[in-house]
Structures are given as C-alpha cells and as structure tokens.
Chain A
C-alpha cells in the first residue's frame, strides 16, 4: 500500500524554564512508516510519549529534530521546521486530529462546528451540512442538541462532537488521541465503525486506544513506546 507518513529519527524534549530548566526527553530516535489502510495503535504506559508523538504529527508540538514527512496530494511535505501556513494547509485537507478535549469558540452551535472543517476541506455548504447531519446522527447525538453550543454538554457528548469534526472531511491521515475514552459501549461501537470505514477507504490512522476492545477492533498493528523510544 501507499506510504502516507514517514517519520525518521524524531526527537522531542521539553525544557521547563519556569521550573529550574528541567529537561524532559519525550521522544527519541523514532522511525515509523504508516500506509494507506493502516491503523497503527500506540501503546505504552502513561508518560511514554504517545500523545506527544500525535501532537508532533499535527504540528502542535515542535520537534527538536528528525523528520516527519506527510503525503499531501502528490507532494511530500516536511513537517519538522515547516512554516505555520504550511501546517495550517496540511490541517485543512490532509491531517485530521481528535484530541481528548473539545476546544472551540464559545456560542457556536454544534452543527456549525461540524460543518466548519468540511467547508475548510473544500466541500460546498450543502454537502458539508449533509455530512455533518449524517455524522451527528450516526454518533447518536440527539438532534435537539445540534443547534446548541457544546459548552454545557456532558463529556461524552463533547467527545462525540470532537469526533464528528475529525470525520467531517476525509483526511488521508487521521490522528486519534483516545477517541472512545468517555463513551459508553453503544457509542464506542459507532466510533469504531467510523474508524473502520475511513481505514477501508484508504486513510492512514495513528491512534491511542486505551480500551483494549476498541484497539483490537480497529488496529492493524501496534507499536509499543517506552520512554519515547520504540520498544522491540
């Protein structure tokens, strides 16, 4: 299958200047390739660098060195050292990311929040809205909530809005940070179906799935991280 993501020698550390300059090595010497149709599960104990890796891959964390190359249309784009405009362009059409928390502007209705990434990715307004409605329906979010801003929603409801946003555009590369963390069995199943569907259509997926059932349902392979390095 086509390789969509190539990571070589990735390193990331944090220097905490406000805490006496303590240095934390989050990732080191990491090499990875992920192809279309792959779903790679990152496993490892808390603090092993799983979330840091996903954040480097979406341009949210600044790596110290190494290379992250992403297929964007027919080009390979280097993410390490990329200009902000390049990162934003990649996020619009190529890289989708589900974080553990929903972070959006207050007061915007849920439906609009899900339409937004579809429009940014290039869909026309009617198509984007149709997609958003389908997704919210699929994720069992009651229709009476769609016109409300999600600030007052439960954790599980907010998480589903987050997931709907990440699937509103067919991103070739999907990064999922515990997408099913606060969901019940029925909604977990709905998310698993979305992930499986995207993977079968050729997305390359990297994810952290705490829950073993979800992991075994979606992952095509696993990599274990220990102190920021790939364990054998």
Chain B
C-alpha cells in the first residue's frame, strides 16, 4: 500500500570493535515521512547504529542504500568521504544529544543557521539572514536573539537552535540522538510538540535514538528494540509498547515508572 520507494534500505548492518559487537545484522527500510524510534538501554548499540546509518562510522559488514534527491539510490559506503559529507550537509540533518556538539558556540545564532545554507551554496546575505530568521521563529526562538551567541541560551533554546540549523537546508532525513536528553520535562514537552508538527508538515523521515519510551510513543511510527547490538523486536510503536513479544522488550516496558 506504500507506493513510494524506501528512502533508506538497511541490510545486515554490522559493526565490530575488535571481537566486541557494536551492532549486528540490523535490517530495515525507512519510508519517506516515516519516523523510526530506536530504543534500548545504554550500551545496546543504538548510537553505533545511528553513526553507521548517518555515514559517520564505516560498518564492518552490510549495506545502507539511500535514495538521494539528486542521484537516486546510493550505497553509502561506496561513496567517497567527500560525497558522504555533501549528503550530510545537503540532504540530511543530524541532531546531537548535546547541542554544544552540533552548534558552533563562538558565533551568533543567526550565523549558526546561515552557515549551513552557505555550505550548500547560498551567498546572498539578505536572503540568508531572512531565512535564518524564519527558521529561528519556526523553532520558537525570539527574532531579537539572532545576533546572540548560543552560549547565552538556555539548554532548551540551544537544542531548538540546533534543530533550526539542521532544518534550514530542508533535509529529507534527520538523525536524532536523544534530542530531549538533557532537558527539563516541561521543555521536553514543548520540543516534542514542535518536532511532531515539523515532521508532519515537512514530511521528514527521521531516525530517533532514545532510551525514553514516552518520547517514541509520541513521535515515532515504528520501533526497533535493541539489545546487545541486535534488533530483538520491531513493529508498530504502540503495538511494541502495549504488546511486547520479546523478553527484553517486556522488561523495558515493564520498567517504566508510572507517573
């Protein structure tokens, strides 16, 4: 019933660190506009998987095929380093847990957003500033703060700035690593609400790594549950959370503290 081709096809993805396994035998397809949540405890291989998928860490085995806007399906690890970096800048976004890792703290908020546009060829100052302003506003950052450095922002604002920086180039695929990780619950709710609206309105596909099952219930269509580097269960988000099949998924779900 899904007419579109998968945006990302992952086959047998494995990453070994010596004789230790980072992730092993991971396979799934991601369709345009779809959000997949990856859950599991720390050390389950979520971040290794995310790094392999986003062309930052070369896997030991397996393939990742991305259906690019410009050139059609590409096998990531047959590309040159420069081609991979171009993809990351032009068609993808990468939101890190700690906004300090994804932002340049020494330049203004506007420059953090504008820089990404320049990296894909924008040159007109007025236009760059205009679009930067628009994206700050989309992420509910006051336009008056455009010339301030992110170091003067709260944690929640920094995270929203990092997301603005990623969305300004209109990516089709965004990778997020614990995007609500270090934030207060009230700030988290606001960010989730924003993210959900943006994902829906922009038709973004998203791979969201988190250990927070509440976040995936609200944001993701499908879930992958990882344990010791392997996907032990995958399916529709509410089905996996309400009727988990694997012992490990059952343990994760039953460990949530009721509010």
Contacts and interface: CB of A to CB of B under 8 A. Distances in A.
B192 A105 contact: yes
B190 interface: yes
Interface stretch (A37-45, A59-67, A159-167, A176-184): A59-67
B126 interface: no
Interface stretch (B69-77, B94-102, B204-212, B247-255): B247-255
A14 B250 CA distance: 11
B236 A87 contact: yes
Nearest to A56: B243
Given A61-B242, A105-B192, A106-B189, A84 B254 contact: no
Contacts of B189: 105-107
B257 to A, nearest CB: 15
Interface in B201-259: 217-218, 221-222, 235-236, 238-239, 242-243, 245-247, 250-251, 254
B1 interface: yes
Contacts of B16: none
B232 to A, nearest CB: 11
B256 to A, nearest CB: 13
Contact of A18 (B190, B235, B245, B251): B251
A105 B195 CA distance: 11
Nearest to A87: B236
A89 B1 contact: yes
A224 B61 CA distance: 54
A17 B251 contact: yes
Nearest to A63: B243
Contacts of B2: 83, 85, 89
B92 interface: no
Given A18-B247, A60-B239, A62-B239, A85 B31 contact: yes
A55 B242 contact: yes
Contact of A105 (B1, B196, B245): B196
A16 interface: yes
A55 B243 CA distance: 10
Contacts of B246: 17
Contacts of A61: 239, 242-243
A108 interface: yes
Interface SS of chain A: mixed
A20 to B, nearest CB: 11
B243 A107 contact: no
Nearest to B218: A105
Contacts of A105: 189, 192-193, 196, 218
B250 A88 contact: no
Contacts of B242: 55, 60-61
Contacts, number: 56
Given A86-B1, A89-B1, 18 more contacts: A14-B243, A17-B247, A18-B254, A55-B243, A60-B239, A60-B243, A62-B235, A62-B243, A77-B1, A84-B221, A85-B2, A85-B34, A87-B236, A87-B239, A105-B196, A105-B218, A106-B192, A108-B193
23 contacts: A16-B250, A17-B250, A17-B251, A18-B247, A18-B251, A55-B242, A60-B239, A60-B242, A60-B243, A61-B239, A62-B239, A84-B222, A84-B239, A85-B2, A86-B1, A87-B236, A87-B239, A88-B221, A89-B1, A105-B196, A105-B218, A106-B189, A107-B189
Size bracket of the B interface = 20 to 34
A60 B236 CA distance: 8
A61 B222 CA distance: 14
A60 B1 CA distance: 19
A18 B193 contact: no
B1 A85 contact: yes
B251 to A, nearest CB: 6
Contacts of B236: 59, 84, 87-88
A105 B243 CA distance: 21
Interface in B158-209: 189-190, 192-193, 196
Contacts of A77: 1
A60 B31 contact: no
Interface in A57-85: 59-62, 77, 83-85
Interface string A82-114: 011111110000000000000101111000000
Interface in A182-227: none
A169 to B, nearest CB: 16
